[in-house]
């Protein structure tokens, strides 16, 4: 089961400064942003049409923390079978995990032995405005999970086929 690199999420002290740096200096585009349940805010940035985000910024971070803080490392798998294989491995290791669907992915979140956050995910066939997050039942068969995901997210903003979203992103990126 091969993992492919997807994105990193940084915890920012000064969100405006970080957004400016990553957009103006490094050429990222903001693809989504909004509040998350723990009274923080997240910004998603990307330079690729087929990546909703290559970088996430969460804030605010307390000023007494280290100079940089990584929230989590994210890895994509190409099939649900591979994701289910990792779920089995994590369970066999006795590692607690949180299965979360963002509407555009089925993810599991857990920590490595030193407490670093890890996400392993498989893309759904849809795009949905972020941030989103609903716990999904890992015992559902693939067809049931697909139906649950569509039913759960179909009324969310910008819900639609992933390929339409990626085609629009291609157009936006070609204007740069």
DSSP annotation string for 149-166: HHHHHTTSTT-EEHHHHH
| Beta carbons of 61 and 12 less than 8 angstroms apart | yes
DSSP annotation string for 38-70: TTEEEEEEESSTT-S-SEEEEE---TTS-S--E
Q: How much is the pLDDT for 168? A: 94
Query: Which is higher by pLDDT, 172 or 105?
Result: 105
Say yes or no to pLDDT of 145 above 70: yes
Mean pLDDT, residues 144-167 taken together:
97
Mean pLDDT, residues 10-25 taken together:
86
Mean pLDDT, residues 117-139 taken together:
95
Say yes or no to pLDDT of 131 above 80: yes
Average pLDDT of the chain is 90
Q: How much is the pLDDT for 133? A: 95
Secondary structure E strands in the chain: 4-11, 29-36, 40-46, 55-59, 70-76, 98-101, 105-111, 117-123, 126-127, 134-135, 160-161
| Beta carbons of 29 and 47 less than 8 angstroms apart | yes
Q: What tokens does 101 get?
A: 């669907």
| Beta carbons of 5 and 75 less than 8 angstroms apart | yes
Q: How much is the pLDDT for 173? A: 86
- The CATH-assigned architecture of domain 4-174 is Roll (3.10)
Give the domain ranges of the chain: 4-174
Q: How much is the pLDDT for 23? A: 87
Q: How much is the pLDDT for 67? A: 62
Given pLDDT bands bounded at 50, 70 and 90, which one contains residue 126? very high
Following CA atoms 21, 24, 28, 33 in sequence, which dihedral angle do they give, to the nearest 10 degrees? 70
What digits encode the pLDDT tens for the residues 48-103? 899 999 999 998 877 766 666 788 889 898 999 999 999 998 899 899 999 999 99
The C-alpha atoms of residue 130 and residue 44 are separated, in whole angstroms, by 8
Of 139, 92, 84, the closest CA to residue 108 belongs to: 84
Mean pLDDT, residues 17-39 taken together:
88
11-15, 79-83, 151-155: which has the minimum mean pLDDT?
11-15
């Amino acid at each position: 089961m091969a993992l492919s690199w997807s994105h990193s999420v940084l915890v920012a002290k000064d969100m405006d400064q970080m957004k400016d740096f990553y957009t103006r200096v490094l050429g990222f585009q903001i693809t989504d942003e909004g509040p998350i349940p723990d009274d923080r805010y997240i910004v998603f940035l990307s330079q690729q049409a087929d990546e909703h985000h290559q970088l996430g910024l969460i804030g605010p971070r307390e000023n007494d923390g280290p100079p940089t803080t990584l929230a989590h490392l994210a890895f994509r798998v190409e099939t649900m079978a591979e994701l289910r294989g990792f779920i089995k491995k994590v369970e066999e290791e006795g590692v607690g995990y949180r299965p979360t669907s963002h509407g555009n992915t089925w993810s599991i979140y857990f920590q490595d032995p030193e407490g670093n956050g890890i996400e392993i995910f498989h893309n759904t066939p849809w795009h949905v405005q972020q941030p989103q997050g609903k716990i999904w039942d890992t015992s559902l068969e693939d067809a049931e999970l697909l139906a649950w995901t569509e039913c759960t997210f179909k009324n969310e903003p910008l819900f639609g086929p992933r390929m339409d979203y990626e085609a629009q992103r291609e157009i936006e990126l070609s204007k740069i």
